[in-house]
Amino acid sequence: MYHFRTVIGLLFFCCIFKYTVSAPQHDDYVYSDEDLKPTCDDSNCKLPNCSCFGAQPNVPINERPQFLMLTFDDAITVANIDTYKKIAAKGVRMTFFVCHEYNDYSLTQKLYSDGHEIAIHSISHESNTDLWRDGDETRWKQEMVGMRAMLTTFGGLPQAELVGHRGPFLQTAGDTTFSVIHKEKFLYDSTMPSRSYMDPPIWPYTLDHGYGQDCQIEPCPNGNFPGLWEIPMLQYHRSSREGDFYCSMLDACTPYPITAADTKDFLMKNFLRHYKSNKAPFPMFLHEAWLRDNARLEGFLQFLDEVLKYQDVRTATIRDVVEYMRNPTPYRLFTPYQQSSPKPCNKVETCSYKEPLRFMKSCVKCPKYYPWVGTPMGKIPPKNFPNN
């Protein structure tokens, strides 16, 4: 029988290993040329709850804020929190798309309390993308609504503030996924990549009249979902001796930059495509493992230092951007969205389990069983657990 500290050490090592190797190494999606372009009449699609595909804020370009939307995917752990603290020290607001396994709910609450946004990325983050593509509404509801319930229960976060969604591996089941998040009152999705509309970049839009951008990862939604905002994952361009590459997340562009100067240059070239055109929000979507290289982290921070000198640049959570879209103003009048307070995390509980061999940190009393898909409160033993 393992000593408790030995178990914790093994699990911590597994967490780091799993998290490091899970970051995508290349952009291997199957792309489609399908371009849907829904018909949308702006005379009957008006803010704050409806915005046509292709619409831009009714604010002169030189008066618009240039948003930086910095997001990280997956669990928040002791292995990545130091990186997040270094970035936050720059005055940056971030959005975290959180999944359950190895997530530290006390650290999650601390980030939320510091003004960052917490959003939903599923419970299991199952690596078999076929299960997401072919999943029915029950599967998607269990994963996404269940994860929201976990964040509310174990992290004390207000359910009404958990309104963002990103599908694992940027995979959805098309209308099935969007029907679930629409019915469950999510405010926005940020799963769908776009290459056709990256130059000039498109602004976020609602799905009242359907999905508008190119369908990069099938299936894409065909239905209408009134009031649900789509935050396009506008792709990045990476030029090197090996050729030109495009990717949906910064850590998917190859070859990786290996110096601080190259990292800063990569980010700046993509940023200027937004800043020098229509100022559509600049996405900085990635996994923390990409920044564990010291030179790359330094270049990343140098980029932030440089662009935050611009008087019209603002770092923002995705919720900030959606609220801005609903009521656009000149950048001098922009105010970040104010989240409601969480329940206090007065005592951090370390919960350990033998079947499956897992642990979690919670702001409330440990549940009897390890929480999982179909049993998010841990009231019954988890079923279909990987390697169980």
Mean pLDDT over the full length of the chain: 91
Side-chain half-sphere CA neighbours of 317 within 13 A: 27
Residues 37-95: pLDDT tens digits? 678 988 899 999 999 999 999 999 999 999 999 999 999 999 999 999 999 999 999 99
- Check residue 367 and give its pLDDT: 97
Angle at 107 between CA 188 and CA 11, to 5 degrees: 105
E strand or H helix at 66: strand 66-73
pLDDT at 25 over 50: no
Phi, psi of 374 (to 5 degrees): 90, -15
pLDDT band at 243 (very low <50, low <70, confident <90, very high): confident
- Cα–Cα nearest to 201, from 188, 189, 214: 214
* Mean pLDDT along residues 12-28: 37
Tell me the CATH number of domain 63-326, given options 3.20.20.450, 3.40.50.10320, 3.20.20.370, 3.40.50.620.
3.20.20.370
Residue 210's pLDDT band, with cuts at 50, 70 and 90, is very high
Query: Looking at residue 387, what is its pLDDT?
Result: 58
pLDDT in tens, 265-312: 999 999 999 999 999 999 999 999 999 999 999 999 999 999 999 999
DSSP E strands in 74-177: the ranges are 95-98, 117-120, 164-165
Asked if residues 371 and 381 have their Cβ atoms less than 8 Å apart, the reply is: no
Q: What is the pLDDT of residue 6?
A: 38
* Rounded-to-5 percentages of helix, strand, coil across the chain: 35, 20, 50
- For 344, the token pair is 């206090």
SS3 320: helix
Beta bridge partners of 362: 349
Distance CA 120, CA 75 (A): 11
327: confidence class by pLDDT, cuts 50, 70, 90 = very high
Q: Which residue has the higher pLDDT, 384 or 95?
A: 95
Which tokens belong to 272? 């200027």
Query: How high is the pLDDT of residue 216?
Result: 96
Identify the pLDDT of residue 242.
81
Q: Quick check: 383 pLDDT over 70?
A: yes
Q: Are 85 and 298 within 8 A, CB to CB? A: no
- Among residues 69, 158, 153, 188, which one has the least CA distance to residue 338? 158
Confidence of residue 333 (pLDDT cuts 50, 70, 90): very high
Q: In the numeric block, which tokens belong to residue 211?
A: 């999905």
Supply the pLDDT for residue 3.
41
Q: Which of 6-10, 90-94, 100-104, 341-345 has the lowest mean pLDDT?
A: 6-10
Tens digit of each residue's pLDDT (9 = 90 or more) over 122-173: 999 999 999 999 999 999 999 999 999 999 999 999 999 999 999 999 999 9
pLDDT recorded at residue 35:
53
Contact (Cβ atoms closer than 8 angstroms) between residue 234 and residue 205: no
Distance CA 351, CA 214 (A): 44
Contact residues for 294 (Cβ-Cβ < 8 A; gap 6+)? none
26: pLDDT strictly greater than 50: no
Evaluate if residue 364 carries a pLDDT over 50.
yes
Q: Enter the tokens of residue 239.
A: 């030029």
Contact 135, 173 (CB under 8 A): yes
Q: How far is CA 254 from CA 207, 245, 249, 262, in A?
A: 32, 7, 11, 12
pLDDT on residue 31: 47
Residue of 304, 301, 296 whose CA lies nearest to 257:
296
